[in-house]
Structure 1
Amino acid sequence: MEKEHDRWPRPGLRDVTGGLIGGAVALAYAFSYAALLFPWQYPGLLSLALGLALVNAAVGALWLALRSQLPFAVAGPDGNTTSILAGMTAAVAGSVSTAVQGPNLLALVMATTVLCGVLFLVLGTARLGSAVRFIPYPVIGGFLASTGWLIATGGLRVVTDFPVPGVWMLWLSTRVRDPLVMTTIALGLLYVVILRRWRHPAVMPGVLVGTAAVLILALKLLAIPVENARADGWLFDAGVAATWSPPWAQDWSALQWQPLLVQWVDMLAVVAVAVITLLLSSSGLEVMARRDISFDRELREHGWLNLAIAACGGYLSIVSVGRSAVLLESGVTSRLAGVISGLVCLAAIWLSPWLLGWLPRPVLAGFLLYIGMLLLHEWVIVARSRLTRSDWLLVIVILGTTAMVGFTVAVLAGILASCLNFALSYSRLGVVQHDLDGTGIRSSVQRPARHRDMLSRHGAAIRVIVLRGVIFFGTASTVLDRVRGFLQAPAGPIERDLVLDFSHVDSADSSAALTFTKIAQLAAANQVRLVVCGLGRGTEAAFAQAGPGVVIRASLDLALDEAEEGLLLSQGLDPQVSEESLAGWLSRELGGEQHWTALEPYLERRQLRSGETLMTQGDPSDDGLYLIEHGRLAVRLPHQGRGQRLASLMGGTLVGEMALYDRAPRSANVVAERKSVVWGLSRAGMERLHATAPETAIQVHAFIMRTMAERLRLANSAIAALQRGA
């Protein structure tokens, strides 16, 4: 299928034609934002604003044409930031005398431009471009909807005295019948219909020139003299020329710092909106170009660009999706188109008296109204279908605050609302990842049968809470509510342990520490042993004031091991040793003393010193399994620390049983944790047992299968408990 730009001239001519059209579109935006930048009540400032905007457009187009990762990228005046700057300049212009308005307004916009440039450089150099993505999406939407409102109302201010926030509805009821206002609104709606219907790059400048010609012709037909049209606000004053205002050529002696410093909050708002706009625009261009770009590099380029623009006498310049799309859709193949677009804007500095003198005010005002309506439609109407109700209401709150109070308050309200929304959403998510007890999760210690039975019957006395994420006062209180019943239950003969695992917690603030102190006090008052494990730098402070009764362990496994030992001790069992002899244990497991008598000749007794290795990963497994008479063995993988064990095996258990059924090498190291005695049954010994006592051999296999099944059942139980979550 033939693409639209395939009908354009050859590649070289496409660059020239696309650059000229792009320059015309850039001029339309520059003239419109120049009319918006400074208050309309002071027409003498228009030439100053026009110079700032044209320098912005010219340098922005030239810089990105030569430096951007995308050859079709075009920078220039941005509506989002210009609308905020317009409110700032209006406040400063009204607080200083007319004679010194120029230098003070220049200082304000240039200082803001330099501030943005420096921040762009810092973010880009530190590779923090992606950090902006952590700003909540509805807050971004609220800011952009608010700038749409500011641009739309700024368009009306080009032709009339649109009021300050809060009283605009009263103004609308009285001034909407004004011919200038009606014409501006009609043109804005006309631009919405035409420019959304036909997206050819040449349509926008053509429509603006066409509507300007129609208005001038209407004035002629109505026999309205040009002088009267200018006096009534239909045309700009004749001979308005763009004033180039490089900072080194200004007289700064009349600078008044107080009105400028008052604007520091709005300056920060401009910086925030500028960063958001830049990264959103870069993301849009990345999708349009179907290629990856580095946001950090774009930030650095915009940093140097805006420092250069401030030095040349311009103001904040940001890459524009719309103006860049004009070049892309024109089929440009090189950076020449962007250069030509910049040169067109540069030439307009000298041609501005002729261009602006015959450009009707309602045309620029209607174009600004069109831009504002597009943003409002995007973030108020379209966004409703892709945002949750609460997120969309946050956009409306920020927009409503801007319309009724002002953008600065809206910024603060948006930040506050997003923080509250995040806190509420996060608290609903919960910080308890798993809520378990000793029947669903065990330590890695393999204990004798009687110990295992006791833990199965009384495991509910061990409560395990696995926490996650970031813990603050609101979420910490949910932990207290969850364990309050366990802590306040009547004390009995069985020791109770509450284990709090912080290994998945990133941080806990000081307010959370108060809640955990209360948990520690409740535990102490009700004779519950509180064990905390997995603390890190971000969570250690949460238990600094919890008192001496809190037991801190390095890992959940160690905490569970101690809790199980405490439960066994409370029931009169020694958790360190098996109370059965080897003969009694195996006679019971094999179904009679005769089977023990038949098996004993094939067992080889071996004593291990503490720290001695019984098995090494990768060794042959011909020596078969080992029955542990007493002591304790640790199963570890190589290169793991001593605190990270796979299992710990006590007397009355066995290890290495898989060697009887396959010839695979040993899968882990087995080391004695203390003096131990083990009895080995080799594969050859098992084969001889089959020949001499087949009934006993069958009982040995049944015993091994029961042991493996029990371990598998415990593992499945733990997995199921973890999958259930909290």
Structure 2
Amino acid sequence: MKFDLSNLRGDLAGGLTAGIVALPLALAFGVASGLGPMAGLYGAIVLGFFASLFGGTPSQISGPTGPMVVVMAGLFASLSGDATLILTAVMLAGVIQIAFGVLGLGQYIRLVPYPVISGFMTGIGTIIIILQMGRMVGGEPPSGTIAAIGYLPTALGSINWMALALGAGTLAIVYTWPAKFGKIIPGPLVALIIGTVVSLIVGGAPVLGDIPSGLPTLHLPVLNSDQWVLIVEAAIILAVLGAIDSLLTSLVADNMTRTRHESNRELVGQGIGNTFAGLLGGIGGAGATMRTVVNIRSGGQTKISGMTHSLVLLAIVLGLGPMASNIPHAVLAGILVKVGLDIIDWRYLKRAHKGPRWDLILMVLVLGLTVFVDLITAVAAGVVLAALAFVREVAQLQINELKPAMAGEGTPEEAELLKQAKGRVSLFSFGGPMSFGAAADLGHHVRERAPKGSQVLILDFSRVPKIDVSAAMAVETIATDALGSGRSLVISGANDDIKEVLKGLLSEYQEITLADNQISALKKALKEINPSSNDDDNLADDPALRPAST
């Protein structure tokens, strides 16, 4: 495997800065997941290293993220804190992500509509804030959004004022820390140090307590658990959510570096990282937007920067345990509340009321499902509804455009032929791919809009690249109605793909005629309504016209 050493100084600087930024976040995410601060650090180290080594976004920094931690916390509650089963889900999620990459699904994951992404990201930010409010006032909230909301009155009834001061002070520091100083030492790390020192001097606020330090131990997956359904479900959620989160961050990195990432390779790298993270006792994660931005702005450009970030964290971990045990819960809660507020899509919320109403409804629906149901239901429902709405919109455009051609329309030759028809020929020209969205109303609109007294119906497919079976059945309904009412039917401009789909119809109704284009179809129609006409003796021999039976 080749390494690009042309930007070594920038990569080392970016990795060092990203590692320092990642430290307080990894600790906070580890605590929020339920597995403890060291699990967050192990996840950042292992995932960050392997995702950089094998991934497809050179400047990306990976580690625990808010969306993934929300799922981890829910899984912790569902499995009663069984770390072995939780880590098994993380490993399985990694394997699923590798499969996503091998199967080439990266390009499809990026097709999630923006209102859906906005809704579940805003929902995740809301969940993080809700779960940390109890700790901000010195309490110990239960896992789960609804349970945490129910716990708030209890927490507010017994506020630990020292914890509240530390939490509020942490928020004040991370929001007011000058950007020019942030390039040297990030605000969250400053808040972590100051809050811990104040807690040591004054006391009175709950702290993390004794935590292990040193290298992680091996955690083999459990293959014979009666909780496998829950484990597999959580693994799928982690895999899909981590893939979406990572690829969105990859797009951010592309915009900043003017490069193009490899989606499928990135999924393989994330999968390998998450598999090893679970194996070594770390929580699952994904590409982290804030840490990636910090890395790029500090000079990081290649995979060396992400691997450096992991090695910096590893060096810290080897001697961090005794110091980290004195970190107050409220300080980490304050850092996470800031993370939650940053995840909320304020940019879209500020202007959502000015955009399409359906997009706003979809975003709010996904937000609600994310907070009160679960992420996979929210994303699945959002994608399905968005797809159906899009299909319906395209179908409506096709239906609105569907109207009979009138005399004088089209090219001069077509206009003249329509004029000669004197209303006895109905020409309908379809546009764009025809699918199940328009099929339901297709026959109805042709029947309603065809001029009374027309003797020949022409269906022109010159502007249609493809049709599906639903649309083909609608065309068959139109054909049955036309032939049943004594009209002749001409199908023009159909390409080979369309003819293949309509093969059953054409073989059943031998009287249907095919024409290569509208001109040929109109000439054939005129011949049908006036067979004795000698205007053009060559019409019958026009090579563009051929009965379906041939």
* TM-score normalized with structure 1 length: 0.64
CA distance in structure 2 between the partners assigned to 1:111 and 1:416 by the alignment:
26
Secondary structure of the corresponding residue to residue 358 of structure 2:
helix
Paired AA for residue 431 in structure 2: R
Contact between 2:47 and 2:273, CA under 8 Å: does it hold in 1?
yes
CA 1:387 to 1:291, structure 2 compared with 1: closer, same or farther past 3 Å? farther
- Per the alignment, residue 548 of structure 2 pairs with none
- Does 2:38 correspond to 1:50? yes
Contact between 2:213 and 2:321, CA under 8 Å: does it hold in 1?
yes
CA 1:77 to 1:132, structure 2 compared with 1: closer, same or farther past 3 Å? same
CA 1:64 to 1:270, structure 2 compared with 1: closer, same or farther past 3 Å? closer
> Which of 312, 316, 325 matches 2:293?
325
> Which of 530, 534, 539 matches 1:568?
530
How far did residue 441 of structure 1 move?
A: 5.9
Q: Deviations over 1:562-613 (max 9, x none)?
A: 22321332xx3146528xxxxxxxxxxxxxxxxxxxxxxxxxxxxxxxxxxx
Paired AA for residue 218 in structure 1: V
Paired AA for residue 24 in structure 1: I
Contact between 2:247 and 2:287, CA under 8 Å: does it hold in 1?
no
CA distance in structure 1 between the partners assigned to 2:416 and 2:452 by the alignment:
24
Contact between 2:125 and 2:339, CA under 8 Å: does it hold in 1?
yes
TM alignment of 1:250-649, pairs within 5 A = 252=222, 256-310=224-278, 312-331=280-299, 337-378=305-346, 381-382=349-350, 384=352, 387-431=355-399, 433=401, 435-437=403-405, 439-440=407-408, 456-487=419-450, 489-490=452-453, 495-501=455-461, 503-510=463-470, 512-533=471-492, 534=494, 536-537=496-497, 540-541=500-501, 544=504, 548=509, 551=512, 553=514, 555-557=516-518, 558-569=520-531, 572-574=532-534, 576-577=536-537
Secondary structure of the corresponding residue to residue 553 of structure 1:
strand
- Does 2:192 correspond to 1:203? no
> Which of 74, 77, 94 matches 1:90?
77
Identity %: 21
Contact between 2:97 and 2:268, CA under 8 Å: does it hold in 1?
no
How far did residue 539 of structure 1 move?
A: 7.3
How far did residue 396 of structure 1 move?
A: 1.2
CA distance in structure 1 between the partners assigned to 2:411 and 2:466 by the alignment:
24
- Does 2:6 correspond to 1:24? no
Higher RCO, 1 or 2 (CA under 8 Å, sep at least 6)? 2
Larger radius of gyration: 1
Secondary structure of the corresponding residue to residue 76 of structure 2:
helix
CA 1:66 to 1:360, structure 2 compared with 1: closer, same or farther past 3 Å? same
- Per the alignment, residue 88 of structure 2 pairs with 107
Paired AA for residue 235 in structure 1: V
- Does 2:129 correspond to 1:147? no
Contact between 2:38 and 2:211, CA under 8 Å: does it hold in 1?
no
CA distance in structure 2 between the partners assigned to 1:363 and 1:182 by the alignment:
9
CA distance in structure 2 between the partners assigned to 1:552 and 1:246 by the alignment:
72
How far did residue 72 of structure 1 move?
A: 4.3
CA 1:506 to 1:351, structure 2 compared with 1: closer, same or farther past 3 Å? farther
Contact between 2:106 and 2:264, CA under 8 Å: does it hold in 1?
yes
CA distance in structure 1 between the partners assigned to 2:165 and 2:263 by the alignment:
41
CA 1:442 to 1:30, structure 2 compared with 1: closer, same or farther past 3 Å? closer
CA 1:537 to 1:425, structure 2 compared with 1: closer, same or farther past 3 Å? same
Paired AA for residue 207 in structure 1: A
Contact between 2:429 and 2:461, CA under 8 Å: does it hold in 1?
yes
> Which of 29, 39, 53 matches 1:33?
29
Secondary structure of the corresponding residue to residue 25 of structure 1:
helix
- Per the alignment, residue 193 of structure 1 pairs with 175
CA 1:573 to 1:208, structure 2 compared with 1: closer, same or farther past 3 Å? same
Contact between 2:366 and 2:379, CA under 8 Å: does it hold in 1?
yes
Stretches of structure 2 that go unaligned for 5 or more consecutive residues are 1-6, 546-550
Contact between 2:110 and 2:248, CA under 8 Å: does it hold in 1?
no
How far did residue 360 of structure 1 move?
A: 0.8
Secondary structure of the corresponding residue to residue 506 of structure 1:
coil
How far did residue 345 of structure 1 move?
A: 1.6
CA 1:147 to 1:169, structure 2 compared with 1: closer, same or farther past 3 Å? closer
* TM-score normalized with structure 2 length: 0.82
How far did residue 343 of structure 1 move?
A: 1.6
CA distance in structure 1 between the partners assigned to 2:544 and 2:242 by the alignment:
50
How far did residue 162 of structure 1 move?
A: 4.3
Secondary structure of the corresponding residue to residue 480 of structure 2:
helix
- Per the alignment, residue 101 of structure 2 pairs with 120
CA distance in structure 1 between the partners assigned to 2:361 and 2:166 by the alignment:
30
Paired AA for residue 30 in structure 1: A
CA distance in structure 1 between the partners assigned to 2:295 and 2:268 by the alignment:
23
Task: Single out whichever of 273-282 and 58-67 deviates more from structure 2.
Answer: 58-67
Contact between 1:27 and 1:54, CA under 8 Å: does it hold in 2?
yes
Secondary structure of the corresponding residue to residue 467 of structure 2:
strand
Secondary structure of the corresponding residue to residue 509 of structure 2:
coil
CA distance in structure 2 between the partners assigned to 1:263 and 1:536 by the alignment:
48
- Per the alignment, residue 218 of structure 2 pairs with 246
CA 1:410 to 1:498, structure 2 compared with 1: closer, same or farther past 3 Å? same
Paired AA for residue 209 in structure 2: D
- Per the alignment, residue 4 of structure 2 pairs with none
Paired AA for residue 577 in structure 1: D
Contact between 2:490 and 2:512, CA under 8 Å: does it hold in 1?
yes
How far did residue 434 of structure 1 move?
A: 5.9
Contact between 1:72 and 1:337, CA under 8 Å: does it hold in 2?
yes
- Per the alignment, residue 236 of structure 1 pairs with 208
Q: Deviations over 1:611-662 (max 9, x none)?
A: xxxxxxxxxxxxxxxxxxx997x8xxxxxxx869xxxxxxxxxxxxxxxxxx
In terms of fraction of residues, the more strand-rich structure is: 1
CA distance in structure 1 between the partners assigned to 2:144 and 2:57 by the alignment:
40
CA 1:339 to 1:277, structure 2 compared with 1: closer, same or farther past 3 Å? closer
Paired AA for residue 104 in structure 1: L
CA distance in structure 1 between the partners assigned to 2:306 and 2:234 by the alignment:
32
